[in-house]
A = this chain, B = another copy of it.
C-alpha cells in the first residue's frame, strides 16, 4: 500500500465514478459487429492477415450469458496521464461483476513487465488505495516497445504461461500500434488472449472520428490552464513581464490550443498552422515582435505567449537543420563525446562548415544556449532531443534581441509546464471516462473481441449517455516511414486547421492579442 494521503486525495478514494447506462448492464451485454463503418487502409492490410477485416463493434442489452471467470492482464505504457488507475479499477470491477472468481494481473514497469514476466496480482485491498488517484505508480510504466519477432514471442509465451483471456494495453499511439501487432501475432499463433487498447495521452493526439479524446487530456489541460491563468493575472498586475510558456504535448499542438481557449492569453503558436503557412523562424519572430510592439505602443509592455513543445519541428528550416545535425553527428562518433558546453564551443566550429548554407545561417541565428542544446543533448542513438530544447527560451531570446535592436525595453520570463499535470488527481471527467473505459475493455474481452480500442462516443453529453464502441485498431493505422521502412502505425492526430477549436481560436485571437481578456480558470474543483 502507498504511504500517506492528503485530505483531498483521501476524499477522492471514495468517489464512485459514473458510467454510461449501457455499460452498467454488464454482463448482460451483447456485442454486435457493424459492417462498413470502418475500413482498413490498403497499405496496412498486408500486415494484418488476421485483423484486416475487423468490424466496428457496438453493444446492446442482451441475455445474461453464463459468466465464466476471466483472467486478464494489464499494463501502462509511456508517459503518465491522469486517470490510469481508474482504467485498472473499472476493469477489475467489471471482471468481478462478470464472475467473482475473475483474476486481474498487473504487469510491472510497463511493456517490459510483459516481456520479462514481472507481474503482481491486482486485488481489492491494494487497489482501493489507487482509485481516482493520479500517477501510474500502482504498476509503474515504461517505454519498451513490443514489435520485434523476439519481443512478440516473449509476450506470447508470457500470456500463454499466465493463461490470459485478455490483455489490456493502456497507452498512446505507439503502444496501441504494438497492441495491434500483439493481437495479430496472438491470433496467428492461435492464442486465446484478446488484446484491447485504451487511448491514453495528455497530448490529445489520439483523436479520430471514433476516438473523441484520449484520457488525461482533460485534467492536464485544466492544470496547465490554472497556472497559465495565474501567470496571466500576474502579468496584468505587475505590467512588466512577457511570459513565454512552453507546454508539453509532443508534435501536436492540441494542448496549447485547448489552453489558449481556456485562458484567452495574448498569443499562442499552433505548430500545424505555422507548417501550413510555411513560416520561417524569422517570419515567426518578426510577426510576434510587430504584435508585441503594437501592444507596447498601447502602453502594454506585458503579456503571455504559449508555445507548443513540438513547435520547432514544424519550422522547415529548423527541421532541416536538425536533420543535417543528426546526420553529421551520426557520421563521426567523436562528435558524440561532446558533452559539456566547453567542448561544444570547440566542436561548434568543426560542425558548421559541414552544414548547408541555409542550415548554417539558421544555426548561427540561434542563441548560444540553444546551439549548445542542439549539440549536447542527444538521445542514446545520437539524435538531437527535440523535447529537451528550450524552445521557450529560443523564442524569448530572439524576441529580446529584436526589441533591443528597436530600442524597446523588454523583460521576459520563461516557463515549461509538463510534469506538473501528467500525474495530477484526475478530474471527475477523467475519473469517469477511465473507469468506463476499463469496464468497456472487460466487455470487449468477454465478447471475444481482439485488436480493438475501447471507445466512448458523445463525451460532451452527460456520462450516462456516452456510447460504448470497440474500434478495430487496424482501422486507426496508416503506413509511415520508420527508420527507412514503411510500417503500419496508429495515426497521430495533429490539430485540424478546419476544425471547430482552431476556427474558434482564429475568430477570437485578434481580440485577445490586444485586449487583455484573460480567463483565470482556477484550480480544478471536484
Contact = CB atoms under 8 A, between A and B. Distances in A.
Given A80-B237, A230-B424, A231-B420, A523 B524 contact: yes
A525 B526 contact: yes
A3 B420 contact: no
A135 B238 CA distance: 9
Contacts of A243: 419
A134 B520 contact: yes
B230 A137 contact: no
Contacts of A30: none
Interface in A222-247: 223, 226-227, 229-231, 233-234, 236-239, 243
B423 A237 contact: yes
A12 interface: yes
A331 interface: no
A469 interface: no
A508 to B, nearest CB: 11
Most chain B beta-carbon neighbours within 10 Å: one of A413, A419, A524: A419
What size tier do the contact residues of chain A reach?
35 or more
A221 interface: no
Contact of A6 (B223, B234, B419, B521): B521
A5 interface: yes
A212 B227 CA distance: 28
Interface stretch (A156-164, A182-190, A288-296, A510-518): A510-518
Nearest to A422: B234
A523 B425 contact: yes
A278 interface: no
A230 B421 contact: yes
A341 interface: yes
Contacts of A515: 3
A141 interface: yes
Contacts of A262: 6
Contact of A237 (B137, B226, B233, B238): B137
Given A233-B134, A413-B419, A420-B231, A3 B522 contact: no
A405 interface: no
A237 B136 contact: yes
A425 B341 contact: no
A3 B263 CA distance: 12
B6 A517 contact: no
A346 interface: no
Nearest to A342: B368
B520 A133 contact: yes
A517 B234 contact: no
Interface in A317-344: 340-342
A354 interface: no
A522 B8 contact: yes
A425 B520 contact: yes
A54 interface: no
Contacts of A137: 233, 236-237
Contacts of A133: 233, 520
Contacts of A517: 3-4
Given A4-B264, A223-B230, A9 B237 contact: no
B136 A4 contact: no
Contacts of A38: none
A316 interface: no
A422 to B, nearest CB: 5
A140 interface: yes
B135 A234 contact: yes
A244 to B, nearest CB: 12
A8 B525 contact: yes
A140 B234 contact: no
A74 B140 CA distance: 53
B6 A229 contact: yes
Nearest to A371: B341
Given A229-B6, A231-B420, A425 B522 contact: yes
Nearest to A133: B520
Interface in A23-79: 79
B341 A523 contact: no
A415 interface: yes
A408 interface: no
A12 B521 CA distance: 11
29 contacts: A3-B264, A3-B518, A4-B517, A4-B518, A6-B519, A6-B520, A6-B522, A8-B520, A8-B525, A134-B230, A135-B236, A136-B237, A136-B238, A137-B237, A141-B238, A223-B230, A227-B420, A230-B420, A230-B423, A230-B424, A231-B419, A231-B423, A234-B419, A234-B423, A342-B368, A345-B345, A424-B522, A424-B523, A523-B524
Given A8-B525, A230-B423, A415-B416, 15 more contacts: A3-B515, A4-B519, A6-B262, A8-B520, A9-B519, A80-B237, A80-B238, A133-B233, A135-B234, A137-B233, A233-B424, A243-B419, A341-B368, A341-B369, A415-B420
